[in-house]
Amino acid sequence: MTRKMHVLALAAAAAFALSAQAQQGPSDPQIAHIVVTANQVDIDAGKLAKEHSKNKEVDKFAQQMITDHTGVNKQAVELAKKLKVKPEDNDTSKSLKKGGDENIAKLKKLKGAEFDKEYVAHEVAYHQAVLDAIDKTLIPSAKNAELKGLIEKVRPAIQAHLDHAKHLQADLAK
């Protein structure tokens, strides 16, 4: 499978996983777990990129992913505690975790420019899938106003991450 096909397959799988519960909509405890899991997937990938990349721009991007997504997770966990909501594991969060683990395993086999290109391509696909899920599933399904507000508040940062990843991807293609 070519890299582009692999990235598209990952994006499709993530989008499917994130929208799988859209028919009935995930509950607030499920949304809380999806948010934490989605952020952790990106934190883990960022940590791997920090260890493996020799590209200064990829390294800076990876650090931003670690910092920003750790911050969102902290807010999500604090909000869940405040609301006395226990994040509930669900098919979407399990699928996200599985996809994240598969991405890490694939990236660990790569080195140099090949690693950088694959990491960034996955970040583009992943952030697009997360934005789609935010817009089509998470915001419409969230019942609690504070949970919905947190998701709406972080949406522009996810869009900025996508834009940054696309710019980095174009630079790496040169």
CA distance 150 to 143: 12
Residue 38's CATH number: 1.20.1260.10
* 89 φ/ψ angles, rounded to the nearest 5 degrees: -60, 145
Whether 6 is covered by a domain: the verdict is no
Whether 154 is covered by a domain: the verdict is yes
State the average pLDDT for the chain. Answer: 88
Q: Are 33 and 90 in contact (CB under 8 A)?
A: yes
Q: State the DSSP code for 88.
A: -
Give the count of domains, the chain. 1
Q: pTM of the entire structure?
A: 0.86
Q: Which residues of the chain have pLDDT under 50?
A: 1, 5-9, 12-13, 16, 20-22
Whether 64 is covered by a domain: the verdict is yes
| Predicted confidence (pLDDT) per residue in 7-31, tens digit | 444 554 455 455 544 457 899 999 9
Structural domain of 82: 27-173
Res 15: pLDDT: 53
